[in-house]
Amino acid sequence: MLQWDNIYNLECIGGMRQLPDACADLVFADPPFNIGYAYDVYHDKREDNEYLNWSKKWMSEVVRILKPDGTFWLAIGDEFAAELKVCCTRELGLTCRSWVVWYYTFGVNCKKKFTRSHVHLFHFVKNPAHFTFNDDAIRVPSARQLRYNDKRANPKGRLPDDTWILNPKELENELGTDKDTWLVSRVCGTFKERKGWHNCQMPEEVLHRIISVSTNENGKVLDPFLGSGTTLAVAKKLGRRYLGFELSPEYWEQCRKRLEGETPLF
């Protein structure tokens, strides 16, 4: 039987099928985008119908293992964002609370289209009337506070916009973190945060926001596509339970080592 606070070198559908119903508070998934990325094991260029059928299968397992008040965050590129959103809402019964656009500079160079510089982050819930949303954990200073010193401003700040702007690391000092737009760097090749074995590494700050707002302490976080292991590394730092699957033996081993080196922040 699979145990929490572990990761498994398993294909995600088979792995999730070994889990009981309603066991996870949050599932964060950053699946292959089906754009021909050179993974070491997975083939990332399937026929469209094959990819969509596969996506529905693993997302159906996500819905099954989510608790009644659970949350599902999906990171996906342009090519299949619309289809997967429709699948989740019209076929799998989820409600989309937010459609976040994560914009970043240092975009991915493309040959026959504009540079890829954003990712869609869909925020789905099982029950639109009852789900975890810790708004105080993610508030940012408002323009009323910073620019106008308006006494009417909420002293706790405001909720972030649904467009998240990521800037290059070298601009952080110039841009600061006290503005009314959330700023955090995309993980590029020269950054200290970069682990080096996976080219699609998610920034920890993205996951910090998602896990903080969608789970409470000791909540259970699952990632069906571990990749570089960022989701569960942040979950462990934040004092959450975690479980994940990775198809690649090499990526799985690197994630295992990464998690061993993480300790709770509190």
Report which of residues 253 and 44 the model is more confident about.
253
- Is residue 197 over pLDDT 70? no
- Is residue 83 over pLDDT 80? yes
pLDDT at 192: 54
Q: Which residues contact 62 (CB under 8 A, 6 or more apart)?
A: 16, 27, 29, 72, 224
Question: Could you tell me the domains of the chain?
Answer: 6-260 (3.40.50.150)
Q: Which range, of 69-83, 117-131, 179-193, 222-236, averages the lowest pLDDT?
A: 179-193
- Is residue 88 over pLDDT 90? yes
- Is residue 144 over pLDDT 90? no
pTM of structure:
0.85
pLDDT in tens, 91-100: 999 999 999 9
pLDDT in tens, 159-179: 888 887 755 443 444 334 333
